[in-house]
Amino acid sequence: MNTQQAFQRGKDAALDALNTLGDQFDGKHINRRHQAMGGALTTLITAVYAMAPSEEAAEELISFSQKCALEDFLANPPE
């Protein structure tokens, strides 16, 4: 597996998790979606810190991911 394939598998797994959350909030408790997203994001970031060789490496990955997310959002804004 190359870097792009690994990156895509991570994105696909995150989309699967979001679909699971969406199923749980399907028209119910819609005002609590942001807490659910916060829980998911916190867990992913915690895993990054736990698996990184250093706090600095974790923060670099988090920063890189945040930059990619913003670029994706700006390139494909919601309608």
b/e code 8-17 from CB counts within 10 Å (16+ = b) = eeeeeeeeee
d(CA 72, CA 3): 18
Amino acid 75: pLDDT: 96
| Domain limits for position 62 | 3-75
pTM of full prediction above 0.95: no
What is the maximal distance between C-alpha atoms in the chain?
Answer: 41
Amino acid 62: pLDDT: 97
Amino acid 26: pLDDT: 67
Tens of each residue's pLDDT in the chain, 79 residues:
999 999 999 999 999 988 888 777 767 777 787 888 899 999 999 999 999 999 999 999 999 999 999 999 999 988 8
Per the structure, the count of domains in the chain is: 1
